[in-house]
Structure 1
Amino acid sequence: MKSISFLKGVRVLCLCLPLLLFSCKKEDTSAIYTLRQWKVDLTTGNVLPAISGRTDHAVAVFYLMTDNKLYYYLYFDSPLNNNDVPLKGSIYTGANGTSGTVLIELANEAFDANREVKGAVELSQQVIADLNTKTNYLQISSSQQPNGLVRGAMQSY
């Protein structure tokens, strides 16, 4: 009798052991979450001084994540006027209609053949605070407009 109850105990243990192991799995704490998002509509009319005779337009989206990085995607929705080439983007602190100070230089490579670029930049706690509390705008320069081709206010959504 003892051997039968021992075998039953071993069988129950074999059936329950996988459940026990899976139920003790550690919680995954490596997940990264979005803290805040922005969308930017960039036009030549917002640049100071405004650029006349150009109709270039770009759109950008930004995601501030819990890993203290700002992820971004910038694109021009049509070819640039006069065979111009987009260069880099920078986020400035300042109100619409004023010249601000550089807050973040985006670490973007050259725009691709579709006039798109994406990337991420690591931020300090002070820059994150400024990004969250101050009025900011994005400006993208080009080979023909090194001081800024398009500009737009960062709108949180």
Structure 2
Amino acid sequence: MAVEAVDVRWATTDDAESLAVVLCEMATHYRQAPLDHDRATATAMQWLHDESPAYPHFAMAFSDGAVVGLTSVAIAHPGIDLERLMFLKDLFVRGSARNKGVGRALIGFLANHCVSKGIGRIDLTTEDWNEGAQRFYGRLGAERHGQKVFLRLSGKALRAAAKS
């Protein structure tokens, strides 16, 4: 496994096109309907425009000037012992860049951010079918945490909750 030189940084509005490229590839990987690239670019621009400088949500990885991966995160208050926590919503490495150190570089970037900002942990989920992701996180020392059940409010249920 060759480790590439990877540059990881917080995304800015200048990265909207690169973010859209990865979002489109990610949708296919996660068995979603293909995304319209122009719509993905416009949405990425809006998301990046709305980001708070205090809590950036996308970290992006580049190798030789090309985008190779991303993470989407949120910072939550309070965490255990009054330490904030980072929730890793997505970590995605493009197919051509897998097993080359990109995922480790992204996690290292996030972990360094957490340590420097007093954020006590990174919580994440992965699909039960995504054995590659589970092996990757296991190699990093992530432990299965069986105390929580993942639930979702969306669609009709979300609209009904909004009316209550």
TM-score tier by shorter-chain length is: under 0.3
Q: Which has the higher helix share?
A: 2
Structure with more of its chain in strand, by fraction: 1
Higher relative contact order (CA 8 A, sep 6+): 1
